[in-house]
Chains A and B, each alone.
Chain A
Amino acid sequence: MSARLLEVRDLRTHFFNRGTVAKAVDGVSFHVDAGEMLALVGESGCGKSVTAYSLLRLIADPPGKIVGGEILFEGHDLMKLSDDEMRRLRGDRIAMIFQDPMSSLNPVFTIGAQIAESVLVHRGGTKAAALSRAVELLDLVGIPDSRRRIDEYPHRLSGGMRQRAVIAMALACEPKLLIADEPTTALDVTIQAQVLALISELKQRLGMGVIMITHDLGVVAQHAQRVAVMYAGKIVEQAAVADLFSRPLHPYTKGLLASIPRQGASGGRLNEIPGMVPSLLAMPRGCSFAPRCPKAVDRCTHHVPSLADISPLHPVSCFVAQQEAKL
């Protein structure tokens, strides 16, 4: 039994603007164990990034606010920490990697100085010691010639190298939890393969829990152990990866899996999910997927389904799927 690292219960992050409320994250619950990768999948606007930012309390207030829920990290509720305690946690016990490496690196400082800063802030010690730690970290993430590279500025590195430098920075204090928000979307496939292999290997070696935010179901299948599918601010299905791909239950998950082109099966029409994701400001009544759902029944347009377990480890929020499972 691995240790429960993070437990999120009924998280709600809403954005308030000119009298309107956008419920970007609306009652999300999940957990991450040490040494496992949880994938958070969904399309743009489903709330997966806002969920990640909420965990680190990085939501700009105003307009955003975490209006409810608990974020238990190693048993402590992060919502109850002071800003100062939270700041000490970020980059130390919990680290985050963003999609675009260039925007998380400062262009006027060297790579080494930026990695060393994280070490100095959280661990103290001398500057020389922090720099030699930076060299170790660059070796760890596979940047060749690390001793020379620490003196380079970000623009001198290629995209893949920059993302490695950002990963090195995130790992500087050996975090327990790594949150990766679309870390490879900006990279080419051969570089993506290198970076994902690196994250998986480090997860194993350091026993980190990883939350991988992605829209790429291929990345999920190849790297994650469990997956939560988000739609319009809610988790609609959660399962072990093998289970989700072999037995998807929610019509949205089924639609997503059927809409990706498969290798070696060229031609033919792709499955379409009709329509588009509803605006957070104009959510349909009832199940938010109902207007696009091929299986929607009358009840779906009036009541919001809850995330009920069909099998103990495979909860799904769909009246129809829940009904079918009972039969």
Chain B
Amino acid sequence: MRPLLSVTELKVHFPVRHGLVRAVDNVSLEVGSAETVGLVGESGCGKTTLGKAILRLVKPTAGSIRLAGTEIADMSRALLRPLRREMQMIFQDPQASLNPRQTVASIIEEPMIVHNIGTRTERREKVAWLMAKVGMRPDASGRYPHEFSGGQRQRIGIARALALNPKLIVCDEPVSALDVSVRAQVINLLEDLKREFELSYLFISHDLSVVEHVSDRIAVMYLGRIVETAEGSSLWKRPLHPYTQALISAVPVPDPTAVSRRVVLQGDLPSPLNPPTGCRFHTRCPYATELCRQSEPQLRRVDAAHQMACHYLPDERHTN
């Protein structure tokens, strides 16, 4: 089956005064119909830029983005416009992504006005229906974003994203700003909506446990590159790339009896302005060799569901 979204060798570079920031550098990724693909990585790894490039909110420098078979990477804005209905975004900070001077109903209605959908009455009916779908009371429609809690605001953002019946939703840290008990409500809502409307999600987050919970497949990014992709559970059970191993071991497990096998990485993320030569991870990798400093490993298939970009398999590595 043809994937809903197919990204091939995508590059997003930003020219700055002293060079080029390679925010996304040769990334290939597929999202199937009704599939959730998780994208994890630390700040500055390019995950948000990748999400925005897929929606053409930033311009890709090179590469291909196909949405249901149609190439959109270099499509003109006018041609792209009707296709925008198919893909929507949910943002991290609902406070910043909702206009404080619009009522809830008008926020949710706006995408339909922009795309000229329905009459005023039809749109209002759809708004009421969407609000019910995301679990908001009908009497909230005339109120303003500041009158709601973070979780409720995120529900407004979700209703707005659903207004155009999209196929793909890019969720950029949708629950990171929420409290634990409310986070579970929003995650469950996203999963219910996915099932009901057969949505595909690209779920971007730095929180591995949340990503693992929602994703069918997970891609791990480091400095503009995907270093490992796998089915959700096998990434946790058997991480192959040294970065993924360190990332997973760094997550504090909510279980005091868990034996800590922490691989504490030294140093910080290098700047994407001057990424290290060879393997981009070699400056922090406990197993780096001369080969790693010189040649950049490509993403290779280890088994049917697992790809990674390291010169060595786990049993071929030796701590320095």
CB of A44 to closest CB in B, whole Å: 6
Whether B268 and A161, one on each chain, are in contact in the complex, defined by CB atoms closer than 8 angstroms, is yes
| A110 part of interface (Cβ distance < 8 Å) | no
CB contact under 8 A between A270 and B250, given known A43-B181, A158-B268, A161-B268: no
Whether A271 and B184, one on each chain, are in contact in the complex, defined by CB atoms closer than 8 angstroms, is yes
| A191 part of interface (Cβ distance < 8 Å) | yes
Whether A221 and B181, one on each chain, are in contact in the complex, defined by CB atoms closer than 8 angstroms, is no
What are the residues of chain B within 8 A of A262 when measuring CB–CB? 209, 254
The interface residues of chain B, by DSSP majority, are classed as helix
Which positions 169-226 of chain A face chain B at CB distance < 8 Å? 188-194, 196-197, 215-223
Whether B191 and A259, one on each chain, are in contact in the complex, defined by CB atoms closer than 8 angstroms, is no
Contact of A266 among B180, B212, B249 (CB under 8 A): B212
Contact of B42 among A190, A216, A221, A276 (CB under 8 A): A190
Total number of B residues with any Cβ neighbor in A under 8 Å: 45
CB of A273 to closest CB in B, whole Å: 4
Whether B253 and A276, one on each chain, are in contact in the complex, defined by CB atoms closer than 8 angstroms, is no
What are the residues of chain B within 8 A of A158 when measuring CB–CB? 268-269
Whether B180 and A43, one on each chain, are in contact in the complex, defined by CB atoms closer than 8 angstroms, is yes
| B145 part of interface (Cβ distance < 8 Å) | no
Whether A193 and B206, one on each chain, are in contact in the complex, defined by CB atoms closer than 8 angstroms, is no
Whether A193 and B262, one on each chain, are in contact in the complex, defined by CB atoms closer than 8 angstroms, is yes
What are the residues of chain A within 8 A of B252 when measuring CB–CB? 192-193, 196, 216, 218-219, 221-223
| B274 part of interface (Cβ distance < 8 Å) | no
Whether A270 and B187, one on each chain, are in contact in the complex, defined by CB atoms closer than 8 angstroms, is yes
| A241 part of interface (Cβ distance < 8 Å) | yes
Total number of A residues with any Cβ neighbor in B under 8 Å: 47
A260→B150 CA distance, assembly (Å): 18
Contact of B188 among A43, A44, A217, A272 (CB under 8 A): A272
Whether B191 and A269, one on each chain, are in contact in the complex, defined by CB atoms closer than 8 angstroms, is yes
Whether A242 and B184, one on each chain, are in contact in the complex, defined by CB atoms closer than 8 angstroms, is no
Whether A259 and B183, one on each chain, are in contact in the complex, defined by CB atoms closer than 8 angstroms, is yes
Whether A189 and B187, one on each chain, are in contact in the complex, defined by CB atoms closer than 8 angstroms, is no
Whether A43 and B264, one on each chain, are in contact in the complex, defined by CB atoms closer than 8 angstroms, is no
Contact of A221 among B43, B180, B255, B268 (CB under 8 A): B255
Whether B268 and A276, one on each chain, are in contact in the complex, defined by CB atoms closer than 8 angstroms, is no
What are the residues of chain B within 8 A of A274 when measuring CB–CB? 185
CB contact under 8 A between A264 and B42, given known A189-B206, A242-B256, A272-B185: no
The 9 closest A-B pairs by CB, nearest first: A218-B252, A261-B213, A43-B179, A188-B42, A273-B181, A259-B184, A193-B250, A270-B184, A217-B254
Residues of A participating in the B interface, judged by any CB pair closer than 8 Å: 43-44, 158-161, 188-194, 196-197, 215-223, 241-242, 245-246, 255-257, 259-264, 266-267, 269-274, 276-277
Can you identify 16 A-B contacts, CB atoms within 8 angstroms?
A: A43-B179, A44-B179, A188-B269, A190-B246, A193-B265, A217-B254, A222-B253, A242-B256, A245-B257, A255-B181, A259-B184, A263-B209, A270-B184, A272-B184, A276-B149, A276-B151
